[in-house]
Every structure is written in C-alpha cells, then in structure tokens.
C-alpha cells in the first residue's frame, strides 16, 4: 500500500532550511537595492525567503520554482494572505527542464544545488554555472551551500549519505565561486541552533505521526525512516556539516 502522508514541514518550520529570522533579514539586505528587480528562487520550497525579499523591496517581482506541489500551494496561500500575488509567480516544475521568460536580477539557490541533477560531487559547480545563465550581466546570486565545518571522521562518513569529496571548506566554496567568474560580496554560515531548529522540525513530523498512528501497518516503515534520519543527524553531520550563505556578484 501507498505510504501515508506526513504533516508538511511548514507546520513546524518558518524556512525550509537552517535559517533564523535575523539571518534571513541580513541576507535580504545583502541583496538590496532591488528597485524594479526580478528575483528568481529555484528549489524554493514554500518560498518564504522569496516572499520576504519582495516585502522588503516593494517594486520588485519574483518567481519561485519547486517540484513539491504542496509546498508551492502553501507558498501561494501565504502570498495571497500577504498581498503579494500580483508580484510573485510560484510554479510547480523541474528546474532542470524549466526555462524562464526573462533574465533575473537576483537568483536564490538556497540548499538546492541538487535540483539540476547529475553527480553529487558536481552539484555546486552545476548550480554556479546554471545560475549565471539565469542572471542578467552583473546580477547577484544568493547561494546556500554545504561545507565541512570540520573534517568528518570515518565513523561520521559511514553514518551519513554524504561522500567526503562532496564538500570542502568555506574558503574552497568561495574559491569555486570565483573560478566561475563571481565575486564574493558577503559570507556567513548557519549556527548549530539554526540547524537544530531545522532538523527538529523534520523529526517532529515523523514522531507526531507515530504517536497518532501506533497500530498502523506503516508504523514500522515510518519508525525506520525516523530512526535513519536521526542517525544521519546525530552520528553523522551534526556540528560537522555546515551551510554557508554566499552573496555573489555575477560577471
């Protein structure tokens, strides 16, 4: 039988990533001014960062693209509630097959470099290349991408589905961006508290379902998924895998 639906993450999380209200506001300021600009958010989830960017730039317009129809529907409901529907288009689409109708002044790729597919070791490079093709000359890219806060141990690598060579240091990430023609305008990284809020939001959906459905035929399957996710986090990447936020100027 089809596995059950789990409560959507937006019931417990503001952003679909390790991102606080304060950091989100700083990242948006790093993109200003956005007078009459167009902002494209790829792999946008429910597009909370995009909507807040448009709220901070009253003459800007935006497009958000994601494969998750439920997330896009939630983003559309939020846009309507906040009076943004005339300035934002949220679309269910595969970014790798999607083509915009205009170049963007800003592109946001926040924890979503995998949307272009291919070898995980090339995800970051692919995102940097693809974003440049979506941007006007001199536009800006807000890139949220993984890096190793510290060298992972063999035990940690064995406990998480992330190969060692997928990431380097923050300096390596910035060097890669520069090798693709960008210039760094700002850089910061998610804190452990932000990661914990994000990961707790994921875990809570599983545990709530298990509490409410103890006798379900799917309980063992859902419990196994929850336990695997917990192992990835606590024996794998917690305090080791980081997320850097780079504001980059395109050539």
- What are the tokens at 170? 């923050």
Q: Please state, in angstroms and rounded to a whole number, the distance separating the CA atoms of residues 218 and 220.
A: 6
Q: Is 231 helix (H, G, I), strand (E, B) or coil?
A: helix
Tell me: the pLDDT tens digits for 220-250?
999 999 999 999 999 999 999 999 999 999 9
pLDDT at position 61, please? 98
Mean pLDDT of 167-188: 98
pLDDT at residue 134, rounded to an integer: 97
pLDDT tens digits, 70-82: 999 999 999 999 9
Whole-model pTM? Answer: 0.95
- Cα 126 from Cα 128, distance rounded (Å): 5
Q: 2: number of CA atoms within 13 Å, CB side? A: 3
Place of tokens 């060692």: 164
pLDDT at position 6 over 80? no
Both structure tokens of 154: 């063999």
Axis crossing angle, helix 192-212 with helix 219-231, rounded to the nearest 10: 170
Distance of CA 10 to the CA centre of its chain: 13
Q: At what angle do helices 21-31 and 48-56 cross, to 10 degrees?
A: 60
Report the C-alpha gap between 185 and 175 in whole angstroms: 13
pLDDT of residue 44: 97
Q: Each residue of 15-67: pLDDT tens digit?
A: 999 999 999 999 999 999 999 999 999 999 999 999 999 999 999 999 999 99
CB 186 within 8 A of CB 247: yes
96, two tokens: 């790798």
């Amino acid at each position: 039988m089809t596995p059950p639906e789990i409560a959507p993450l937006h019931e417990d999380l503001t952003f679909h990533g390790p991102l606080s209200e304060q950091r989100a506001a700083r990242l948006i300021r790093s993109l200003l001014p956005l007078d009459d600009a167009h902002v494209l958010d790829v792999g946008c989830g429910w597009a909370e960062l995009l909507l807040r960017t448009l709220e901070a730039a009253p003459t800007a317009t935006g497009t958000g693209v994601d494969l998750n129809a439920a997330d896009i529907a939630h983003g559309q409901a939020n846009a309507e509630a906040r009076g943004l529907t005339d300035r934002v288009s949220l679309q269910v689409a595969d970014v790798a097959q999607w083509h915009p109708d205009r170049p963007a002044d800003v592109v946001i790729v926040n924890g979503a470099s995998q949307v272009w597919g291919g070898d995980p070791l090339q995800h970051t490079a692919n995102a940097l290349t693809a974003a440049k093709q979506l941007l006007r000359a001199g536009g800006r890219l807000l890139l949220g991408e993984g890096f190793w806060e510290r060298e992972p141990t063999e035990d940690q690598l064995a406990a998480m589905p992330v190969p060692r060579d997928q990431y380097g240091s923050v300096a390596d990430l910035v060097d890669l961006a520069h090798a693709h023609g960008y210039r760094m305008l700002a850089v910061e990284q998610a804190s452990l508290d932000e990661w914990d809020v994000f990961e707790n939001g994921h875990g809570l959906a599983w545990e709530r379902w298990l509490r409410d459905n103890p006798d379900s035929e799917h309980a063992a399957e859902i419990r196994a998924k929850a336990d695997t996710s917990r192992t990835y986090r606590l024996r794998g990447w917690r305090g080791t895998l980081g997320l850097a936020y780079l504001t980059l100027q395109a050539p």
